[in-house]
Amino acid sequence: MSFRFRNLRLDHVGVVGSGQIGPDIALHLARSLAPAGVRVTVVDVAADALARGRARIEQKVGRDREKGALAPAAADAVLGALSFTTDYGALADAGLVIEAATENLDVKRRIFAQLERLCAPDAILASNSSHIEPSLIFRDLAHRARALVIHYFFPAERNPIVEIVSGPDTSAALAGTVMALYEEIGKVPIRVGSRYGYAVNPVFEGLFLAAALAVEEGLGTVKEVDAAARRALGLGVGPFTAMNLTGGNPITHHALDEMTTRIGPWFRSPRLMRDAMAAGTPWEVPKRDEKVELPPERERRIADAMIGAYFGLSGEILDSGIVTLADLELGVEMGLVMKPPFRFMNEIGVGRALELVRAYAAAHEGFPVPACLQRQAGAGTPFAIDCVLRHDDGDVAVLTIRRPQVLNALNDDVYAQLVRRFTEVRDDPGIAAAVLTGFGTRAFVSGADVNFLGAIGSPAEGVATSERSKLAGNLIERLGKPVVCALNGFALGGGSELALCCSARLVRKGLPLAISQPESNLGIVPGAGATQRLPRMVGLELAAEMLRTGRALSGRQAVESGLVREEVDGDVVTAAVELARAAARGDVALEGASPAPLALDVALPDVDLGFRSRAIDALITRAIVEGCRRPLADGLRFESEMFGECCATEDMRIGVRTFQEKGPRAQPVFVHR
Alpha-carbon span 491 to 318, nearest angstrom:
33
Cβ count near 141 (within 10 Å): 18
15 φ/ψ angles, rounded to the nearest 5 degrees: -130, 125
The residue type found at 449 is: D
φ/ψ of residue 285, rounded to 5: -120, 165
Which positions are catalytic? Answer: 497, 519
CB atoms within 10 A of CB 348: 13
Dist. CA 565–CA 561, nearest whole Å: 9
Sheet containing strand 39-43, strands side by side: 82-85, 39-43, 12-16, 96-99, 124-127, 147-152, 161-166, 188-192
Q: Other C-beta atoms within 10 Å of 640: how many?
A: 24
490 and 516 in contact (C-beta within 8 Å)? yes
The conformational region for residue 108 under phi > 0 = left, psi -120 to 50 = alpha, else beta, is alpha
Q: What is the spatial distance between Cα 509 and Cα 491, in angstroms, rounded to a whole number?
A: 14
Cis check: omega of the bond before 155, within 30 degrees of 0: yes
Q: In what order do the strands lie in the sheet with 566-568?
A: 388-393, 396-401, 433-438, 483-487, 504-508, 566-568
Residues facing 127 on adjacent strands: 99, 149
CA distance 347 to 469: 24
Radius of gyration of the chain from its Cα atoms, rounded to whole angstroms: 27
* Angle made by CA atoms 499, 184, 15, in degrees to the nearest 5: 175
Which residues neighbour 429 within 8 Å (Cβ) at sequence distance 6 or greater? none
